[in-house]
Amino acid sequence: MHLAMVGDVMLGRHVNEVLKERTPDYPWGDTLPLLSRADVRICNLECAISDRGEEWAATPKEFHFRTDAKNIDVLRAANMNVASLANNHALDYGYDALFDTLELLDAAAIHHAGAGRTLSEAEQPAIMRTGKGEVGVIAFTDNEPAWEATSGKPGVFYVPIEPRDRRAVHLLELIKQTRNVVDLLVVSTHWGPNWGYEPPPDHAPFAHAMVDAGADVVFGHSGHVFRGIEIYRHRPILYCAGDFIDDYAVDPVERNDQSCVFALEGTRGEIRSARAYPTKIQLCRAKVARGPEMRAIAQKMQSLSAGFGTSFRWDEAHGYLVAKLARSHK
């Protein structure tokens, strides 16, 4: 089974304006052939999809992201299978816009996890059935605690990165339970502050606990830049996938326009290899990186991952990094 994962996909603001003139496949640039190879495609959707709502004053912030309802076709254009909604922009335009997002994803047959009308819906794993097995996705965030879903309030699946917290204990139990009914389990987490090539110190122990509980992949995002990949118990931990589509200003040092398409190959309970295809954002669209920039992104990923003891081999001919994961002996 092949999985393809990309980080933050933000279709609001200037991207939304571009999409008034461009076709739905525009934001994906020339990355669509890479995505098409996968059996399951997963992204973090960093905006509401709706024609309703106002910037929500309940949580004052500088940036609010929403894209027109018609732009559900952007996710369709990439055959996106699962969208993680547990992030700090899911409620930027209030409850009505969140409800529209959920309904549009359902109508497009795109699975989603991490936000809902109640906590039960927000924490519900997305389960994608393929001819090669079932992939489960649990999505949570430690951002925006005020947006925490409850039994009587819409919101996101909020879990603080604190192992002793009751919500963290519940998350680990949910991972254990879900792992028993799927072939591969991805835990998507929008965690930590913006920026920084090194994950916060509490992320590694928490990621390890999630793998110990049954996660086959930890798919982190939120930090705007990609971070190194750790292989723990033969399973990949992507501490941060970075930004994949947006209109953000580019920091000249912490290059938030650089990321990868992360491609994983595995079978039941086992990830065999992890590949990273360097990408960059240009004019509100993702592009496969080329030439010196492609190699610079690859070298940065190699260096950052080496800090976790992960060795990536660069395949110049095919333009990707690859790490072979040792077989798990369960």
CB atoms within 10 A of CB 238: 27
Mean pLDDT of 40-68: 92
| Beta strand residue intervals within the chain, DSSP E | 2-9, 40-45, 48-49, 66-67, 82-84, 111-113, 115-116, 126-130, 133-141, 155-156, 184-190, 217-221, 229-232, 235-238, 243-245, 258-267, 270-282, 285-288, 313-315, 320-324
Average pLDDT, the chain: 96
Phi, psi of 190 (to 5 degrees): -95, 95
Residue 57 has pLDDT above 80, yes or no: no
Mean pLDDT of 219-229: 98
Q: What is the pLDDT of residues 135-180, one digit of tens each?
A: 999 999 999 999 999 999 999 999 999 999 999 999 999 999 999 9
Local structure of residue 179 (DSSP, 8 states): H
**DSSP per-residue string spanning 140-175:** EESS-GGGB-BTTB-EE-B--S-TTSHHHHHHHHHH
8 Å CB contact between 254 and 237: no
pLDDT band at 297; cut points 50, 70, 90: very high
pLDDT of 110 strictly over 50: yes
Would you give the distance in Å from CA 134 to the centre of its chain? 18
Mean pLDDT of all residues in 74-83: 98
Average pLDDT over residues 226-252: 97
Q: What average pLDDT score do residues 31-47 get?
A: 98
The CA-to-CA distance between both ends of the chain, in Å, stands at 19
**pLDDT band per the 50, 70, 90 thresholds, residue 327:** low
> What are the C-alpha distances in Å from 192 to residues 159, 197, 202, 222?
12, 12, 9, 7
The answer to whether the beta carbons of residues 137 and 175 sit under 8 Å apart is no
Q: Is a pLDDT exceeding 80 seen at residue 328?
A: no
Q: Mean pLDDT throughout 260-288?
A: 95
Q: Is a pLDDT exceeding 50 seen at residue 329?
A: no
C-alpha 80/C-alpha 88 separation (Å) is: 21
**pTM exceeding the 0.85 threshold for the entire prediction:** yes
Q: Which of 97, 128, 96 is nearest to 112 (CA)?
A: 128
CATH topology for the 2-324 domain: Purple Acid Phosphatase; chain A, domain 2 (3.60.21)
pLDDT, position 330: 40
Which whole number is the average pLDDT over 268-289? 95
Task: Determine the pLDDT at residue 95.
Answer: 97
Separation of alpha carbons 135 and 55, rounded Å: 35
Domain coordinates in residue numbering, the chain: 2-324
pLDDT of residue 270: 87
Q: Output the pLDDT for position 326.
A: 59
The SS3 of residue 34 is helix
